[in-house]
Amino acid sequence: MSNASKPKNAFYAQSGGVTAVINASACGVIQAAKESDQIGTVYAGHNGIIGALTEELIDTSQESKETIAALKHTPSGAFGSCRYKLKSLEENKAEYMRLIEVFKAHDIGYFFYNGGGDSADTCLKVSKLSEQMGYPIQAIHVPKTVDNDLPFTDNSPGFGSVAKYVAISTQEAGLDIASMCKTSTKVFIFEVMGRHAGWIAGSAGIASTNEHTPPHIILMPEIAFEETAFLNKVDQCVKDYGFCVIVASEGTQDKDGKFLADAGAKDAFGHTQLGGVAPTLATLVKDKLGYKYHWAVADYLQRAARHIASKTDVDQAYAVGRAAVEKALEGKNAIMPCIQRTSDTPYTWEIGEAPLAEVANVEQKMPRDFISEDGFHITEKAKTYFSPLIQGEDYPPYINGLPQVAKLKKVFAPKKTATNFDVNK
């Protein structure tokens, strides 16, 4: 093979908060790349884009076929992810130049960046700058975020599995409280993720098949929290159904945009107690209504819960990974493969694409017509949207009662640049 036709290598990195299925996208990228003779080695960034800056490139060809396949049922970011937003070109051009330097040194022609809105922006910048610098790289963004706030795509891979976890947990805990409310807990508050949008909290609403089935109240950042209306609703639920189950977004906020979680409780030493919407609401319910309460905060458990991942979500995460490679091979650049819904019932979807210039830094909130008039629940329209996303189970294999996960060797490619790059802290 002559040097001219030598296939370019690819760089893949995971960015931002990880999910139950981001490794399924990694699996899709790596497997699709392996099937093509136009792509050489896929290098994965150790701890995301930081791995490119520090030239810590995991050589995925050193991993067995079985390990790569096992990524499909391994939660978290198997190669390491990071919260590291590249600054603007003006502020820190050196960072971008360093990226191109490392990519050039490793003969990388394809950049697959697996993340949310911020990383779509980074991806776009890499594409542009590499062109300016005369070493053009095809940069494809692979969508991922539990927040479900990316535009153009029917949903964001990672979200469906959180939605399934949250809906099932709400159903299960709801049955628990229903069975004991006669003499025990009357109000249960379940705090879920969603700082800016109510997609995750809203998805719990699928568990509610009629008004007496939990959740009875859903709090979303899109609707300003009003204490009196909330307490009245809680009280009415307890009177009507014997109990009240509330699912609250961490981003629940009042009309001035003040987060409930920042209510400012102090401990005995005057330190601010580390908040949480759930304990704040529980305090309110106890003080104003006097009902026995319990609360739960799922935090990382919800986005790591691969054991109850949605099969639809796993399939889509894998599909966008593969599609990223296929589109790169078609010569596409600065785009994001996305999921296009072609029918609600039965749910059918196909892969489309969106230009990164229009994806980057756009945040999709819950539409108002997904939220009930009183602001405390979701509409049928929302249920039609959410329901397909949690369909199907895709259980991981188990050994000794615990899920089996991919164990990577993580062999680094030998360094080729002389620079030791200091990553901004």
Site residues for its own copies, 4-33, by CB under 8 A, read 14, 17-18, 20
75 contributes a contact to its own copies by CB under 8 A: yes
The correct pick among 173, 200, 244, 248 for binding its own copies (CB under 8 A) is 173
At closest approach, how far in Å is the CB of 191 from its own copies?
9
The correct pick among 78, 139, 320, 378 for binding its own copies (CB under 8 A) is 78
At closest approach, how far in Å is the CB of 6 from its own copies?
33
The verdict on whether 147 is a catalytic residue reads yes
Point out which span in 86-94, 107-115, 216-224, 270-278 binds its own copies (CB under 8 A): 270-278
50 contributes a contact to its own copies by CB under 8 A: yes
**What part of residues 95-134 is at the interface with its own copies (CB under 8 A)?**
none
At closest approach, how far in Å is the CB of 22 from its own copies?
9
At closest approach, how far in Å is the CB of 27 from its own copies?
15
Point out which span in 115-123, 250-258, 349-357, 390-398 binds its own copies (CB under 8 A): 390-398
422 contributes a contact to its own copies by CB under 8 A: no
**Residue 363 CA, distance from chain mean position:** 13
187 contributes a contact to its own copies by CB under 8 A: no
The correct pick among 64, 273, 361, 417 for binding its own copies (CB under 8 A) is 273
Smaller CB distance to its own copies: residue 20 or 137?
Answer: 20
Among residues 59, 118, 121, 147, the one annotated as catalytic is 147
418 contributes a contact to its own copies by CB under 8 A: no
Smaller CB distance to its own copies: residue 119 or 171?
Answer: 171
Point out which residues pair with 352 in neighbouring strands: 338
Smaller CB distance to its own copies: residue 286 or 368?
Answer: 286
258 contributes a contact to its own copies by CB under 8 A: no
Point out which span in 4-12, 229-237, 372-380, 386-394 binds its own copies (CB under 8 A): 386-394
104 touches 135 (CB < 8 A):
yes
Smaller CB distance to its own copies: residue 18 or 124?
Answer: 18
Residues labelled as active-site residues: 147
